[in-house]
Amino acid sequence: MSDVQGPQRYMVGDLIRVELDLEHRTNLGRVFVAFTNETDPLTEFYFEAMPLMEERQAGVLKTSRIVLEAPVPPETIPGVYRLNRINVFSVGGRLSRLREEDLSEITAKSFEVVEEPAEAPAVSGLRFVD
């Protein structure tokens, strides 16, 4: 997903999947990612994941790829949603808040939720099955 051609587009009912690469020394407990609607800053879209177990070595730099996914619920306000923050909780409960200055290297920072099409579906086939 790259913002060069414009943000990825989704509508109500679609599943949004995001891959996040983290470099860390702590053992990850939970990752929370928030995107904010550009025209309504009080409207946010959230992703949350509990990372898979990884080989744990105290204090050693690790790289984890975390897949976060969330369906677009019916109440979602259409518009462009831009990455606002990433919160990372360690297994021990320590919170790391990553904000704009920490996220400047990320290239794909937004997605768009579009209106659901109004046109009715067209029948493309009908079969009787055993």
Q: Is 99 in contact with 109 (CB distance < 8 Å)?
A: no
pLDDT at 106: 85
In total, the chain counts a number of residues equal to 130
DSSP string, 80-130: EEEEEEEEEEETT--EEEE-GGGSTT-S--EEEE-PPP-SPP---------
Q: Is 48 in contact with 30 (CB distance < 8 Å)?
A: yes
What amino acid occupies position 69?
Answer: E
User: Which CATH number is 3-113 given?
Assistant: 2.60.40
What amino acid occupies position 62?
Answer: K
Distance CA(64)–CA(88), nearest Å, equals 12
Q: What is the pLDDT along the chain (130 residues), one digit of tens a residue?
A: 444 567 899 999 999 999 998 988 888 899 999 999 999 999 999 999 987 656 566 668 888 889 999 999 999 999 999 999 999 999 899 999 998 888 888 888 999 999 999 999 999 999 999 8
pLDDT at 71: 97
pLDDT at 56: 63
Domain ranges of the chain: 3-113
Q: Counting Cβ atoms within 10 Å, is residue 79 exposed (0-12), middle (13-18) or buried (19+)?
A: middle
pLDDT at 1: 44
